[in-house]
Structure 1
Amino acid sequence: MINEISKEAPQINSEPVSPEGQIADQPNSESSLQPSRKPSAKRTGLAILGLMLLATVGFFGLRSLPAKPEKTGKRDRAGQVTPVTVATVTRQTVPVQLKTIGTVQATSTVSVTSQASGRITGVYFKKGQRVQKGDLLFTIDDRTQAASIQQAQAAVSQSLAQVQQARATLAKDLGLVRQAEATLAKDQAQAQFAQAQSDRYNNLYKQGAISQDQAQQYITNSRVSAATLQADREAIANAKAVAEGDRAAIATAEAVVGGNSGALQNTQVQATYTKIYAPIAGRVGNILVTEGNVVQANGANPLVTIAQVDPIQVSFAVPEANLPEVQKRMENGKLKVAVNFAGSSTPMNGVLSFVNNTVDNATGTIQLIGDFDNADGKLFPGQFVNTTLTLSKEPNAIVVPDRAVQNGPDGQFVFVVDPDDSTVENVPVTVSHSFNGLDVIQKGLNPGDQVVTDGQANLVSGGTVRVKTPGSKGDTSGGAGNNTNPGDHRSDKPSGDGNKGTGDADTAPGQPRRSRSGKTNPGGDS
């Protein structure tokens, strides 16, 4: 490089050139050229200084080039002793659960509207208050309904009087019928006597004892008596017909009474609508129509909305693949559902009460609903909650703290400590589900294995570790790494791994950093 720079340096013995490209003539050089001048000391110093600057720039440029990574990085990391926290793999009975996000909804919601028109004269509850079924909510001006009731009562009284009058007329006409029947009986007796006389005198006439005129007189009297009987019978029939008409008039009057009574009852029912009562027990919302406003019967806008919140329901959805298992478990009894929400560490327990009859094709899930007691009012309609549906219990399941399970390029794994030489091995595992900070292991571990729960960021397979004990120097975890179960040998978190998953300075370049729940993955050193 120095040789190349020296070649590019300006030549000192250069001849002056004229603008036309010819060599300029030197003074007093008519017959021959004079020898060239020697380079000046100033030009020589500048050339040397330029060479030194170029050499310095080249030297530092070479130093700044990236160096090849050393191949002994992993060997150095494997050779160091890393403090870690461990836990013992155990067997436990753990529940098989489905976890999802649920939405709280009221068991029933009623929009209270007015069934009578008028001005609101009273509001007897406060916004957000809990009410019981039958509590008075609103009153409406009832003067119009009171006047209608009086009018209907007058109509009923009038129709009742007409019934009484029709009944009196019937009684009178029935008396006429009885009188006509008595007259008929008397005339029948007289007719029988006249007929007997007519027969006797007719025999006497035939014997010549009396004259024809006398005999004819008794025959005429018999015929008159017979005609009188016929008239009496017709009078009785007419009286009975009048009595039947009276009975019809009574029925008509009674029908009028019934109609007027119905109108009175309807008016009385309409009057009850001027007092609005709570149709269900629950929590009222905002008062939408206040005192003094005029409302219309069966209007579109409700006065207030009541939501039944005790008991309350939580709606959630699970994948359709879990539906057969849910149906199978429901046959053996009610399934337990637990919910909790932000700011609450105590779950609320309920039971599964409803499985929808249709799978949502858009999401591939099916809706479930659980019922919960909500006497303390902690659950509100529209609230999002963490929902856990317990299907069954798995006995003797192999469990480890979820902090021990890491995610790598080839899947999930744990670091298992060899108690003989205090080295760790990267062991792939299969996790079925999690429960209360524990991962249930289906494959890869055995009870009694020691797994690393903290400090994985500085580990590689085959590396040497030092198991920290509670209270040891540099222990700043405050007991957070203790074993989940009594007897588990899992010590506290070392102070060097306080920022787990944030990128330790000792991590080799190019290794994957992130894992589930912010855990670090030490790379593919399995």
Structure 2
Amino acid sequence: MTASLRPLLLIALLLCSACNKNDSAVPTEKPAIAVETAIAAPALLTDAIHVTGTLAARNAAEIKSELAGLYTEVYVTEWVAVRKGQPLARIQAAETATLVKRAEAGALQARVEADRVQREAGRMEKLKGAGLATQQQLDDALSMAAAADALRQAAAEELAQLRLRLEKSLIRAPIDGVVAMRAVNVGDLAGADSGGNVIFRIVDNRILDLTVTVPSTDFGRVAVGQLLDFSCDGLPGRTFSGTIKYLNPSVNPADRSLQLMAEIDNRDGRLRDGLFVKGEILIGQRENVLLVPRTVLSGLDLAAGSAVLFVVNGDQAERRAVSIGTLSGDHVEIVSGLQAGEYYVSRGAFNLSDGDKVSVATVKQP
């Protein structure tokens, strides 16, 4: 009986193997990929040149001592506002003060003597007119008057110089602003022995200058009067504006780039001298331009003006090459390859291949 069943078992095994092969040959369909899409629609394009730069106070002063001596008083600390002419520090000047007093006495004496000799010369002129004095006597009197007047002027000039030197012992703020740096304390040595070091730095932040560099391909599009919008990391979410005031008459010989300067009104004091900023020079605006987010493009080549995105046709994704134009912030102009009204994949394209089935989760409206 066992021998008679073996052919039947062999046939059954062959039939099962054939069934398994037929089952494995049935292809499995790739599931649809969930994506988000957006409608390509015309928009307003702001043409701008992206730049970076550093803010600098237009008015700033570094103060040094012109005299030698010891600092006897320091009146201000760092980061306080000062007015033009406000005392900042004083240098010991007792010797100069004594010289000023002597010079004042000498100037007074010279003035009195000059007045006396001048009166004598006048009296001598009257006597000469009356025939009671000789011409020689008159000439001598006039010469003495001239000499006395010269001594009076010399004494007055010496007094003025000493007073100026005494005035320099009191160091004052040359401009309105804020003390950005103080490098002096009571007892420090001032003047030649200190090497002429900067002792105060005062900054007036009310007007700031922003210097930026424009590449050689764009410097022909900039002009005085254009707006420059910018922001900085220290003040997120805020945008500031300035106006281009000056263009460098020469380009950089290394890369042919051009430097320009914009004036920033900072009377509210929000910005600071030395801040690094990122901005854009507003060149113009164009309407009815197709713009897509930069993130939806792959293979972006700015030099060649080309990129790739996915367009949804029915339930399938189509890989499409597009020509790009101007960059505007986080968006890119599409010159050709995409038509207004078409749906492009805005999220989920990294999983796609050309011809894949897609399941649209959401559609962003323009």
Would the TM-score normalized by the shorter structure come out above 0.5?
yes
Structure number with the higher helix fraction is 1
Between Structure 1 and Structure 2, whose CA radius of gyration is higher? 1
**Whole-Å Cα distance in 2 between the matches of residues 408 and 80 of structure 1?**
29
Q: Structure 2 unaligned runs (5+)?
A: 1-26
Contact 1:340 1:386 in 2 (8 A): yes
Question: Which residue number corresponds to residue 258 of structure 1?
Answer: 153
**Whole-Å Cα distance in 2 between the matches of residues 122 and 156 of structure 1?**
31
Question: Which residue number corresponds to residue 429 of structure 1?
Answer: 322
Alignment RMSD (CA, Å): 2.6
Question: Which residue number corresponds to residue 407 of structure 1?
Answer: 299
Contact 2:316 2:357 in 1 (8 A): yes
Does 2:358 align with 1:465? yes
Gap change, CA 1:172 and 1:452, over 3 Å in 2: closer
CA deviation map 1:374-429 (0-9, x unaligned): 344443333322121111112221112222222279951111112xx322211211
Give the match's secondary structure for 1:128.
coil
Structure 1: 4+ residue segments shifted above 6 A: none
Deviation at residue 466 of structure 1 after TM alignment: 1.3
Contact 1:113 1:299 in 2 (8 A): no
Contact 1:113 1:303 in 2 (8 A): yes
**Whole-Å Cα distance in 1 between the matches of residues 300 and 64 of structure 2?**
62
Does 2:246 align with 1:350? no
Does 2:333 align with 1:440? yes
Gap change, CA 1:305 and 1:427, over 3 Å in 2: same
Q: Which has the bigger relative contact order, CA under 8 A and spacing at least 6? A: 2
Give the match's secondary structure for 2:261.
strand
Question: Which residue number corresponds to residue 282 of structure 1?
Answer: 177
Does 2:288 align with 1:396? yes
CA deviation map 1:241-287 (0-9, x unaligned): 31122112111111111111111111112221122111123332332
**Whole-Å Cα distance in 2 between the matches of residues 386 and 178 of structure 1?**
87
Contact 2:59 2:207 in 1 (8 A): no
Q: Partner letter of residue 324 of structure 1?
A: G
Q: Partner letter of residue 335 of structure 1?
A: Q
Q: Structure 1 unaligned runs (5+)?
A: 1-74, 182-235, 470-481, 489-526
Does 2:230 align with 1:339? yes
Deviation at residue 168 of structure 1 after TM alignment: 4.3
Question: Which residue number corresponds to residue 416 of structure 1?
Answer: 311
Question: Which residue number corresponds to residue 342 of structure 2?
Answer: 449
**Whole-Å Cα distance in 2 between the matches of residues 167 and 347 of structure 1?**
73
**Whole-Å Cα distance in 2 between the matches of residues 296 and 275 of structure 1?**
13
Does 2:11 align with 1:119? no
Q: Partner letter of residue 321 of structure 1?
A: T
Worse-matched range after superposition: 315-324 or 171-180: 171-180
Question: How does 1:22-421 map onto structure 2 within 5 Å?
Answer: 79-174=30-125, 176-180=127-131, 239-296=134-191, 300-327=196-223, 330=224, 334-343=225-234, 344-407=236-299, 411-418=306-313, 421=314
Structure number with the higher strand fraction is 2
**Whole-Å Cα distance in 2 between the matches of residues 370 and 312 of structure 1?**
8
Deviation at residue 171 of structure 1 after TM alignment: 4.5
Give the match's secondary structure for 2:206.
coil
Deviation at residue 299 of structure 1 after TM alignment: 5.0
Gap change, CA 1:164 and 1:378, over 3 Å in 2: closer
**Whole-Å Cα distance in 1 between the matches of residues 126 and 87 of structure 2?**
58
**Whole-Å Cα distance in 2 between the matches of residues 359 and 342 of structure 1?**
29
Give the match's secondary structure for 1:382.
coil
Worse-matched range after superposition: 369-378 or 151-160: 369-378
**Whole-Å Cα distance in 2 between the matches of residues 155 and 408 of structure 1?**
85
Matched residues, percent identical?
Answer: 22
Give the match's secondary structure for 1:448.
coil
